[in-house]
Amino acid sequence: MLASPKEEGTKKQFISCIGKLELETDINADLHSVPLVIPCPGMAQVFRLSKLKDATNAFKEFNEPGRGSYGFVYKAVFANGRQVAVKRANAATIIHTNNRDFEMELEILCKIRHCNIVNLLGYYSEMGERLLVYEYMPHGTLYDHLHGGLSPLNWSLRLKISMQAAKGLEYLHKEFVPPIVHRDVKNSNILLDSELGARIADFGLFTSNEKELRGDLESDVYNYGLVLLEILSGRKAYGRDYTPPSIVEWAVPLIKQGKAAAIIDQFIALPRNVGPLLKLADIAEKAVMENPSERPTMSEVASCLEQIVKDGLIL
């Protein structure tokens, strides 16, 4: 079953993107009128294959910023300077997903519009190709910054990213009926836009059945808790160079003993008030509770983090 937008108060109107052809005049749009990242784009478009080939230099290898189970992801630059990311389905994906399933996936992707989600801009699906066009995230993944050698991010940014990622997951969990479960929450699926804002990427499109739904939502919360512990400590969720190797087995006992300060990343200059970071540790500890029913919802997590960000840090 596919999710549909939740109706709360005023009804939210979504228009299907299927069959809406991109206008040629967009190619000649003024460069300065097209932002590099659109916070919450409108209706997705059908792109022409020739335009996507030109923008990716015919899908050349040096334009590949990454790959996944779906296929390769390419950076594309249009003639007007606009940058996007193009996901190109591999043969296995095309074989195992029929046209009807693909159209259903497009329908739900077109309905997902949030400034903390990597939003779909358009697609192409003909001549044996399936291409999805997304917003381009110029600052890479959260993993790149925590573990991959990019700028390590100060505490204000880490708090903001924590809150924004929670808001993106809350949107998937709360605004659709049935909720959309991510199923693969991790720091490499949290991308950073031009303002270093957090965007959730690569979430599952099909919802769980009613029996499994609660457990899947609770698993998302747990995995988000792992991300929080990584943000706080700078450690990977699992590292053989550490004892114990599991970040949960290392961090949670310290937090419960009132020693959360011991897990804070020592390579980042501490703020003068560490209270917000200790509160972040408390939230993380609750999110990774062994008993799934004792974990907070993503809405509760997002609300707590909003308050922490609002209170601010003194650097």
List Cα–Cα distances, 265 to 66, 126, 231, in angstroms: 28, 49, 8
User: Which amino acid would we find at residue 109?
Assistant: L
Cα–Cα distance between 172 and 300 in angstroms, integer? 14
Query: Which of 91, 20, 28, 82 shows the shortest CA–CA distance to 55?
Result: 82
Q: Is 282 part of the annotated catalytic residue set?
A: no
- Six-digit token pair at 307? 């308050």
Q: Which residues contact 125 (CB under 8 A, 6 or more apart)?
A: 99, 102, 106, 131
Residue 159, phi then psi, degrees to nearest 5: -65, -45
184, 202, 241, 282: the active-site residue:
184
Residues with catalytic annotation?
184
